[in-house]
Amino acid sequence: MIAGRAVGRGAASRKYDLLSALASHALSGPSSQQRLALRLIALITARYNWATDRLSIGRADIARLWHVDERTVKREMSKLRAMGWIVVHLPAVRGRVTVYGLGLEAILVDTRPSWEAVGPDLVERLTGTDAAEEEAPTVVPFPERGRPPTLAEPPGLWADARARLAEIDPARSRAWYARLSGAGQAGDILLLHAPNGFVAGYVETHLAGQILAVVRSLAPEISRLRVLAADAPDSSV
């Protein structure tokens, strides 16, 4: 599953996982947090296009869906943008409404404390790591198809890059980069393993630039990134 595009094997269950994480997060907080999360869930279930990461709906339509006035819609959508839970793909112009997308990284980071309340199966699906083993990021939590599991990642380019990324961006490193392991190089391509397609797709779509900037400072010959997902039908290069 590419982040923001629910396609491929397991996509349907990951939609429910995201909604479950949002709902559990909402119920863990005050009424204002509950209302805001519920309003986003309503937008997702009613109008969000998972395949294209597009939410295209006018303010008046949102007001009807939420049973509020348009001033409330403006205020709540501003909050969601400030939190990074929604992002603007195309601003409104005359005759066309604003087109939004989901800020999946921010949603997952913010809802992470509530995942365990849903269950260890959700934690494992979203991170690819057994909840009991989460404190051991150097353990590869899955075997690549047709290959025995690697119990410890050997020192290498990715290990060095990941350490530097952790210094530059600790929050993003904990949420995403700690879930990746090195899979070697193929010419000018750095190969990484991800625990599932959700993580692989998000990293390639949204985080490749930051990764490559750091990797190139260590190995200038690298110019591309490929992230292999454990649950992909074929993980070969």
Mean pLDDT, rounded, of the chain: 80
Indicate if the pLDDT at residue 134 is higher than 50.
no
Cβ atoms within 10 Å, residue 211: 23
Asked whether 223 and 187 are in contact (CB, 8 A), the reply is no
Asked whether 155 and 182 are in contact (CB, 8 A), the reply is no
Predicted local confidence at residue 75, as pLDDT: 94
CA dist 36 → 39, 59, 66, 146 (Å): 5, 16, 10, 45
Taking the CA of residue 143 as centre, how many other CA atoms within 13 Å lie in the half-sphere pointing to its CB? 5
- The arithmetic mean of pLDDT across residues 135-145, rounded, is 38
Report the CATH fold assignment for 10-128.
Arc Repressor Mutant, subunit A (1.10.10)
Q: pLDDT digit string (tens) for 190-200?
A: 999 888 887 88
- The arithmetic mean of pLDDT across residues 217-230, rounded, is 89
pLDDT category of residue 125 using cuts at 50, 70 and 90: confident
Q: Which residues contact 152 (CB under 8 A, 6 or more apart)?
A: 138, 139, 140
Predicted local confidence at residue 207, as pLDDT: 87
The pTM score is 0.57
Boundaries of every domain in the chain: 10-128, 157-229
96 burial type by CB count under 10 A (0-12 exposed, 13-18 middle, 19+ buried)? exposed
Asked whether 231 and 11 are in contact (CB, 8 A), the reply is no
pLDDT category of residue 130 using cuts at 50, 70 and 90: very low
Q: pLDDT digit string (tens) for 65-119?
A: 999 999 999 999 999 999 889 999 888 877 788 999 998 888 988 898 899 898 8
- The arithmetic mean of pLDDT across residues 193-222, rounded, is 87
pLDDT category of residue 233 using cuts at 50, 70 and 90: low
Which of these ranges, 65-69, 126-130, 181-185, 227-231, has the smallest mean pLDDT?
126-130
Do the two domains 10-128 and 157-229 of this chain adopt the same fold?
A: no
pLDDT above 70 as % of the chain: 80
Report the CATH fold assignment for 157-229.
GMP Synthetase; Chain A, domain 3 (3.30.300)
**Separation of alpha carbons 40 and 99, rounded Å:** 15
**Taking Cα atoms as reference points, which of 11, 86, 74 lies closest to residue 47?**
86
Asked whether 159 and 138 are in contact (CB, 8 A), the reply is no
Long-range contacts of 136-144 (CB under 8 A, 24+ apart): 137/178, 137/179, 140/181, 140/193, 141/195, 142/193, 142/195, 142/230, 143/230, 144/183, 144/193, 144/228, 144/230, 144/235
